[in-house]
């Protein structure tokens, strides 16, 4: 018995990385998957490889969500995964002293406005049946401060809080519509490329990034997808308003704790 049989699942930012892995796992578990992304070429290619449908959705744009609501008016699972660090075009300052207001706002537009609009779409697409699962991809950075990535950390913290608000609101309406957040840390995807670079220092940088991670390695997108499958499935029907960390043990302790 497949775990997501006949469930209609929308995944944002699913052209690559974690979103792609989630869309693939959902498809393998019997779901009807709609891959969405701002990148039309890569999104369409990914959907073709998975064997599912693609719709272009820029999560920042209300009009794109309205269009999706017209095409996919009913959904069982929505994963708000699309996200940016702000470093996509290069390593600009994102610390609290030097970050520009424009850069701060742009990261929040994608990560936070995109998640708000995605949750709003999801509620509309689920309330008819009165059941469903909304999964918001936050981050470890939403739970701790990140001096060099202030907007990213702030937007991911807001996603965590908004997930709880959505969970409580849906419960208040008498719906079995659940909303939870997933908090990955150091998952090996393209999001790390601007930080790693392609030079001779790449391997050293990779080792340094996971030096404080108890499992001493990056996580893989499939490992995040496995958690998303459980939250999407009817195995998790009593799980709402909570958060799942997937971080190789990083948040279990502190780098400064005694050995």
Ligand X SMILES: NC(=O)c1ccc[n+]([C@@H]2O[C@H](COP(=O)([O-])OP(=O)(O)OC[C@H]3O[C@@H](n4cnc5c(N)ncnc54)[C@H](O)[C@@H]3O)[C@@H](O)[C@H]2O)c1
| Residues identified as active-site | 152
Q: Applying CB under 6 A, does 33 fall inside the site for ligand X? A: no
Q: Applying CB under 6 A, does 86 fall inside the site for ligand X? A: no
Contact 37, 19 (CB under 8 A): yes
- Binding-site residue total for ligand X (CB under 6 A)? 28
Element (H, E) at 238: none
Longest dimension (CA), the chain: 57
Nearer to ligand X, 135 or 137 (CB): 137
Give the separation between CA 46 and CA 246, rounded to whole angstroms: 24
Give the separation between CA 54 and CA 20, rounded to whole angstroms: 12
Q: Applying CB under 6 A, does 15 fall inside the site for ligand X? A: yes
213 Cβ neighbours under 8 A, 6+ residues apart: 185, 186, 247, 248, 249, 250
User: Residues 148 to 167: which contact ligand X by CB under 6 A?
Assistant: none
Contact 232, 223 (CB under 8 A): no
Nearer to ligand X, 72 or 84 (CB): 84
Say which residue the tokens 């958060």 belong to.
243
Q: Applying CB under 6 A, does 19 fall inside the site for ligand X? A: yes
How far is residue 110 from each of residues 28, 76, 117, 230, measured CA to CA in Å? Answer: 28, 23, 10, 26
Q: Applying CB under 6 A, does 25 fall inside the site for ligand X? A: no
Q: How far is the CB of 136 from ligand X (least distance, A)?
A: 9
Q: Applying CB under 6 A, does 58 fall inside the site for ligand X? A: yes
Q: Please identify, among the stretches 58-66, 93-101, 124-132, 249-257, the one whose residues bind ligand X according to the rule CB under 6 A.
A: 58-66
Q: Applying CB under 6 A, does 78 fall inside the site for ligand X? A: no
User: Residues 94 to 123: which contact ligand X by CB under 6 A?
Assistant: 110
List phi, psi (to 5°) of 93: -65, 130
Q: Applying CB under 6 A, does 66 fall inside the site for ligand X? A: no
Q: Applying CB under 6 A, does 12 fall inside the site for ligand X? A: yes
Q: Applying CB under 6 A, does 189 fall inside the site for ligand X? A: yes
Nearer to ligand X, 76 or 247 (CB): 247
Give the separation between CA 165 and CA 157, rounded to whole angstroms: 13
Nearer to ligand X, 1 or 211 (CB): 211
Q: Applying CB under 6 A, does 134 fall inside the site for ligand X? A: no
Q: Applying CB under 6 A, does 191 fall inside the site for ligand X? A: yes
The single residue among 8, 24, 25, 81 that binds ligand X, judged by CB under 6 A, is 81
> Which among 161, 159, 166 has a CA at the least distance from the CA of 136?
159
Tokens of 189: 């995807």
The single residue among 31, 32, 134, 137 that binds ligand X, judged by CB under 6 A, is 137
Q: Applying CB under 6 A, does 37 fall inside the site for ligand X? A: yes
Tokens of 57: 């959705």
What sign does the CA torsion over 195, 200, 202, 205 have? negative
Residues that bind ligand X (CB under 6 A): 12-13, 15-19, 37-39, 57-60, 81-84, 110, 137, 139, 184-187, 189-191
């Amino acid at each position: 018995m497949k775990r997501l049989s006949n469930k209609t699942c929308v995944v944002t930012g699913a052209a690559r990385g974690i979103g792609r892995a989630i869309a693939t796992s959902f498809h393998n578990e019997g779901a009807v998957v709609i891959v969405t992304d701002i990148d039309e070429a890569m999104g369409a290619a990914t959907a073709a490889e998975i064997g599912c449908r693609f719709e272009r959705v820029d999560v920042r744009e209300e009009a794109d969500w309205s269009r999706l609501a017209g095409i996919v008016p009913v959904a069982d699972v929505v994963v708000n995964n699309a996200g940016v660090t702000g470093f996509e075009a290069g390593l600009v300052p994102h610390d609290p002293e030097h970050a520009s207001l424009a850069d701060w706002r742009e990261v929040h537009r994608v990560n936070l406005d995109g998640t708000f609009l995605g949750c709003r779409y999801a509620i509309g697409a689920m309330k008819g049946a009165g059941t469903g699962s909304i999964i918001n991809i936050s981050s470890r950075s939403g739970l701790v401060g990140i001096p060099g990535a202030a907007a990213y950390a702030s937007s991911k913290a807001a996603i965590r809080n908004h997930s709880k608000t959505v969970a409580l609101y849906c419960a208040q309406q008498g719906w079995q519509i659940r909303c939870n957040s997933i908090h990955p840390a150091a998952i090996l995807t393209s999001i790390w490329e601007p930080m790693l670079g392609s030079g001779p220092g790449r391997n050293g940088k990779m080792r340094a990034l996971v030096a404080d991670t108890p499992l001493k390695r990056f996580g893989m997108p499939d490992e995040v997808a496995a958690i998303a499958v459980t939250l999407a499935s009817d195995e998790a029907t009593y799980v709402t308003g909570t958060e799942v960390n997937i971080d190789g043990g990083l948040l279990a302790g502190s780098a400064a704790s005694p050995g």
